[in-house]
């Protein structure tokens, strides 16, 4: 099988130093505060933003053919392409967060924010994958409609991607595939946890490939997640990229170790095998949930923790980075309970589910039913989403149902 490899690496022309550490809040003085429950509060300075023109992007235009070895796994080429693209755009997102310009935020019809990073990452990843796999479909979060709401944002996305307006519109417009579960479809959230991104917290680039209604590949790029442990300390190395392929296990690689100029599996697919935790007693388990209470009910998760005698405070962080933490065994349980009537989108969990499952965990809805990503952009799950290390799953689902009943009875 032949695939393509990029000859020239992209370049990011920013002279600015890196974000010092991962963060959970921003003080009014501009210092970043690490405030995960149980962690020491570490004030960290971040740099005031540089002028926009310090950020630019040269997309690699030339390809050369690379051979995938005959013994490679079925989706090795796709997984390598996805890891390379996510690695490239994780680095870009970091620069864009460091130089974040709040004037360039548009509020979408669902009241959520969208930034230069969301559009730029979507455009760059989709253009790379479309070139390599021209027959494939795409479902991704962002629409041209929102890009056109603000011309300054539009121009900043052109600057960040090196694309002209026409090319940008064409590529973003490719991303609204609506269904057919026998197809090959890439599912992309270019900036999962945008509210975290704008507040200098966690966010994630989440990319997966579905074929025949089943997830085959998942990649999570978590620029602010330390390479080990959830809580960053001063000096922690940030940038964790998780990748998984059906039947091939899940891996974690430091963002800095990815050769993003290549899509050759033997070059790109490195990393450490991920295994979920081996905790069997829920009272000894840690859990994680959304930082934003508007995305997931913190009061319901507190009730579940009480039922299970889980005394530790939850880890609260934005985005699918939480699933990476489950896959790596940092925490054993993830709980997500949106308000009634909220409809989940596939790109908010599909790439992550295969990562957790390939690490030995389980992900279902709050009733213990598997999640179905094959119906297009939207999902039809009940009672939220629960991810665990597998062994505790049935116990946790029982507690979820008990807590929901208790809440309804009040
Ligand atoms: N009212 C709401 N309830 C539940 N989820 C919501 C929501 N509004 C937005 N979201 C989703 O929650 C995602 C973030 O989840 P988390 O809380 O784990 O960071 C958002 O992803 P985006 O930031 O990509 O839009 C968005 O899809
Ligand atoms: Mg998003």
Residue 12 has φ and ψ, to the nearest 5°, of -120, 120
The domain boundary residue, chosen from 227, 251, 273: 273
345 and 365 inside one domain:
yes
Q: What b/e readout covers 226-263, taking b as 16+ CB neighbours within 10 angstroms? A: bbeebbbeeebebbbbbbbbbebbbbbbbbeebbbbbb
Adjacent-strand bridge partners of 51: none
Spatial distance between the Cα atoms of 31 and 254, rounded to a whole number of angstroms? 26
255 and 337 inside one domain:
no
Looking at per-residue confidence, does 37 or 146 come out higher?
Answer: 146
304 and 398 inside one domain:
yes
Query: Nearest bound ligand to CA 141?
Result: 2
Q: Is residue 40 pLDDT above 60, yes or no?
A: no
CB 158 within 8 A of CB 115: no
Q: Does residue 302 have an active-site annotation? A: no
Atom of ligand 1 nearest to the CA of 111: 8
Q: Does residue 161 have an active-site annotation? A: no
- CATH number (domain holding residue 102): 3.30.540.10
Tokens of 98: 């460091």
What SS3 string covers the chain? CEEEEECCCCCECCCCCCCCCCCCEECCCCEEEECCCCCCCEEEECCCCCCHHHCCECCCCCEEEEECCCCCCCCHHHHHHHHHHHHHHHHHHHHHHHCCCHHHCEECCCCCEECHHHHHHHHHHHHHHHHHCCCCEEEECCCHHHHCCCHHHHHHHHHHHCCCHHHHHHHHHCCECCCCCCCEEEEEEEEECHHHHHCCCCCEEEEEEEECCEEEEEEEEEEEEECCCCCCCCCCCEEEEEEEECCCEEEEEEHHHCCCCCCCHHHHCCCEECCCCCCCCHHHCCEEECCCCCCCCHHHHHHHHHHCCCCCCCEECCCCHHHHHHHCCCCCEEEECCCCCCCCEHHHCHHHHHHHHHCCCEEEECCCCCCCCCCCCECCCCCCEEEECCCCHHHHHHHHHHHHHHHHHC
CB 58 within 8 A of CB 162: yes
Which residue among 109, 142, 292 is best mutated to probe the pocket of ligand 1, counting the most ligand atoms within 8 A of its Cβ?
Answer: 292
CB 329 within 8 A of CB 389: yes
158 and 242 inside one domain:
yes
Spatial distance between the Cα atoms of 379 and 404, rounded to a whole number of angstroms? 21
179 and 38 inside one domain:
yes
286 and 269 inside one domain:
no
Q: Is residue 19 pLDDT above 60, yes or no?
A: no
CA of 193 to the centre of ligand 1 (A): 6
pLDDT 10s digits, 44-80: 222 222 222 233 334 444 444 455 777 789 999 999 9
259 and 307 inside one domain:
no
Q: Is residue 281 pLDDT above 50, yes or no?
A: yes
CB 201 within 8 A of CB 208: no
Tokens of 395: 């116990």
pLDDT 10s digits, 75-100: 999 999 999 999 999 999 999 999 99
229 and 336 inside one domain:
no
Report the pLDDT value the prediction gives residue 30, as an integer from 0 to 100. Answer: 31
CA of 319 to the centre of ligand 2 (A): 9
203 and 238 inside one domain:
yes
CA torsion 217-220-226-231 (nearest 10°) is -110
Residue 124 has φ and ψ, to the nearest 5°, of -70, -40
Report the pLDDT value the prediction gives residue 66, as an integer from 0 to 100. Answer: 54
207 and 314 inside one domain:
no
Which residue among 97, 293, 295, 334 is best mutated to probe the pocket of ligand 1, counting the most ligand atoms within 8 A of its Cβ?
Answer: 295
Tell me whether 0.85 is exceeded by the ipTM: yes
Spatial distance between the Cα atoms of 362 and 394, rounded to a whole number of angstroms? 10
Sheet holding 31-34, edge to edge: 25-26, 31-34, 42-45
Average pLDDT estimate for 389-399: 98
**Nearest partner of 291 among 263, 273, 314, 261, judged by Cα:** 314
The domain boundary residue, chosen from 213, 240, 273: 273
Average pLDDT estimate for 263-276: 94
pLDDT 10s digits, 186-204: 999 999 999 999 999 999 9
The domain boundary residue, chosen from 236, 251, 273: 273
Domain count, the chain: 2
290 and 241 inside one domain:
no
Report the pLDDT value the prediction gives residue 345, as an integer from 0 to 100. Answer: 97
- CATH number (domain holding residue 399): 3.40.190.80
Tokens of 257: 């170790």
Atom of ligand 1 nearest to the CA of 339: 3
pLDDT category at 182 given cuts 50, 70, 90 is confident
Atom of ligand 1 nearest to the CA of 296: 4
Domain of residue 93 covers: 2-273
């Amino acid at each position: 099988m032949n695939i393509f490899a990029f000859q020239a690496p992209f370049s990011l022309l920013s002279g600015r130093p890196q974000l010092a550490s991962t963060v959970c809040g921003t003080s009014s003085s501009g210092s970043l505060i690490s405030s995960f429950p149980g962690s020491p509060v570490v004030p960290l300075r971040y740099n005031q933003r540089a002028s926009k023109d310090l950020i630019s992007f040269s997309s690699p235009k030339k390809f050369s053919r690379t051979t995938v070895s005959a013994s490679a796994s079925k989706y090795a080429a796709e997984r390598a392409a996805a890891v390379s693209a996510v690695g490239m755009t994780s680095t870009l997102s970091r620069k864009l967060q460091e130089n974040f310009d709040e004037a360039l935020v548009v509020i979408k019809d669902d009241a959520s924010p969208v930034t230069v990073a969301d559009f730029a990452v979507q455009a760059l990843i989709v253009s790379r994958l479309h070139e390599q796999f021209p027959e494939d479909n795409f479902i991704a979060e962002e629409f041209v409609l929102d890009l056109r709401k603000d011309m300054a944002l539009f121009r900043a996305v052109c600057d960040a991607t090196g694309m002209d307006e026409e090319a940008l519109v064409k590529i973003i417009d490719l991303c609204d595939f609506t269904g057919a579960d026998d197809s090959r479809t890439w599912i992309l959230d270019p900036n999962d946890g945008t509210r975290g991104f704008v507040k200098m917290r966690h966010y994630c680039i989440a990319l997966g490939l579905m074929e025949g209604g089943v997830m085959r590949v998942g990649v999570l790029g978590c620029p602010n997640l330390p390479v080990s442990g959830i809580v960053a300390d001063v000096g922690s190395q940030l940038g964790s990229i998780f990748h998984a392929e059906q039947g091939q296990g899940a891996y974690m690689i430091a963002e800095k170790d990815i050769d993003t100029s290549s899509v050759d599996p033997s070059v790109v697919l490195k990393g450490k095998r991920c295994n979920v935790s081996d905790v069997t007693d829920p009272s000894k388990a840690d859990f994680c949930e959304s930082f934003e209470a508007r995305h997931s009910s913190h009061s319901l998760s507190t009730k579940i923790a009480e039922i299970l005698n889980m005394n530790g405070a939850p880890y609260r962080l934005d985005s699918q980075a939480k699933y990476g933490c489950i896959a790596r065994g940092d925490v054993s349980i993830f709980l997500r309970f949106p308000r009634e009537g909220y409809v989940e989108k596939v790109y908010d969990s599909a790439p992550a589910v295969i990562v957790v499952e390939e690490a030995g965990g389980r992900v279902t809805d709050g009733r213990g039913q598997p999640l179905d990503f094959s119906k297009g952009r939207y999902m039809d799950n009940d009672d939220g989403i629960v991810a665990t290390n597998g062994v505790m799953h049935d116990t946790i689902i029982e507690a979820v149902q008990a807590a929901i009943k208790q809440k309804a009875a009040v």
